[in-house]
A and B are shown apart, each in its own frame.
Chain A
């Protein structure tokens, strides 16, 4: 079979090839134009975050002090992303951002307490942790390697959503790569051993 044959079969084969080519071009175009959520795009495609929020319930009673070490409280429903554990020395941050999510029922002024230990991996003298509540910056704290400290930050009532949803974001600008050519989704910064939200007096 050759092009010069000009038989219906030959032309049919070329037509089929053209249809396949068009299909493949259309699929390629679709592949290059994903229709996905912002979270999906940020984590998988743009790689602008290491923290892909997973759905969690966030149930929490204000005033409860959470133990995040192994054998402590079950905090799975409060941790959308950016945590690895629990281990004996707490919940390890993984990546450059971690989230905690709380469903409080109603907005109220709170004090956030975080007990953190700096990673012992070789790196900067201190780990800076920028903390925000629903995108409202609360401040930046410094955590020393292998040293546990407790930090308390006030959260204004306005920072909490009308339905009582509160997402605490911890950013780690000094996160340390645990090895050569290790993706930033595996970098380490701090270990969270305890956390609480207490109503302001």
Chain B
């Protein structure tokens, strides 16, 4: 991941930069739609967005339509929807009041627009390198995991807000970064860790400007914008906690309700090792779902290491916490979590883009992978949950 330029003119996207992702919007939609027709030939083609909406997507649809559950949950189940953070589903619900479209159609269209925006704003962080940018655009909009960013999951908003946070942070705009982090902390629980990135970046900026660690605390507290940014950045989470306390008397319901899903807090390393060593007993199966999920986390940790190697400590701290904390509750959804870690996927794109041959092979792989993974998505592959 590169630093955004202080001079905004340098980072201004050209017409090519604006148009290229549109190509991948088209190719991605076409590949996923054809996979839908192939997987469900008898289904009504107009139900494409509905068919793509699987797993947690249906929770978000009901949240956008009906808001948060009360207690006892009306469906008489233990799993209330308090586990899901509000920003994106409520935004869709709000827009749905103005635009009379079926929720899943509206949400999918908004996700595609958000994904497009997430790609364009990542341009400076990709070093304004056209090959890295192309790969990143292909990954988000037309890649094997593009279903996360083009149906109704919070991941797409998470990617956009994370990217905007780090763009502003690399320009030294703590307040701007804090504003986006506040929204990020209301999008997914790990979003609040971007607050730590602001603190780390401010500390590094202090060290760079003064050449010393001496008097760092006083130096940071003497910056009113930074102090305000620190308290703005977790605001989304705190507002959600306040809402839950008002709504049902338990501000930490989003955490407590994990019990209904049987989430067991344990050593993340143990989960990782168990996943990696869950060998297949099915002939012909190369990797088990547990191994795929564990490998996703390993790749994420490797890319976090690359960020640390490049001394991009604010992004590395964010990525490390956003991997290790969910990993402590198991491997479930790890692939989705890793796909939505913008600092990691941006770093991966810049690495792969270094060699022309690797760029070409990766681009073809991403586009071809979209077909097979969409079929696996329709097939209910648990590794994609």
The interface of chain A, by Cβ under 8 A from chain B, is 1-4, 10, 13-14, 16-17, 20-21, 23-24, 27-28, 30-32, 34-37, 40, 43-45, 47, 52, 54-56, 81, 180-183, 185-186
With A35-B245, A43-B78 given, name 8 new contacts (CB 8 A): A20-B231, A31-B245, A31-B251, A35-B249, A36-B71, A54-B72, A181-B266, A183-B263
A52 vs B260: C-alpha distance when bound (angstroms): 10
B252 contacts the other chain (Cβ, under 8 Å)?
A: yes
Q: Which of B38-46, B216-224, B301-309, B339-347 contacts A (4 or more CB under 8 A)?
A: B216-224
Minimum CB–CB distance from B286 to chain A (whole Å) comes to: 23
A122 vs B221: C-alpha distance when bound (angstroms): 60
Interface contact A3-B251, CB-CB below 8 Å: no
Residues of A within 8 A of B12 (CB): none
- Quick one: CB contact mask for B256-286 with A, threshold 8 Å, 1 for yes? 1101101110100001001000000000000
Residues of A within 8 A of B299 (CB): none
Interface contact B222-A4, CB-CB below 8 Å: yes
Minimum CB–CB distance from A125 to chain B (whole Å) comes to: 27
The interface of chain B, by Cβ under 8 A from chain A, is 71-72, 76-78, 221-225, 227-228, 230-232, 234-235, 238, 241-242, 245, 248-253, 256-257, 259-260, 262-264, 266, 271, 274, 330
Interface contact A27-B245, CB-CB below 8 Å: yes
Minimum CB–CB distance from B175 to chain A (whole Å) comes to: 9
A-B interface contact total, Cβ < 8 Å: 103
State the main secondary structure of chain B at its contact with A.
Answer: helix
* CB contact between B259 and one of A10, A34, A47, A182 (< 8 Å): that residue: A47
A24 vs B71: C-alpha distance when bound (angstroms): 25
Residues of B within 8 A of A54 (CB): 72, 76-77
* CB contact between A20 and one of B232, B260, B262 (< 8 Å): that residue: B232
A156 vs B223: C-alpha distance when bound (angstroms): 74
Given A13-B225, A17-B231, A52-B78, residue A27 in contact with residue B251 (CB < 8 A): yes
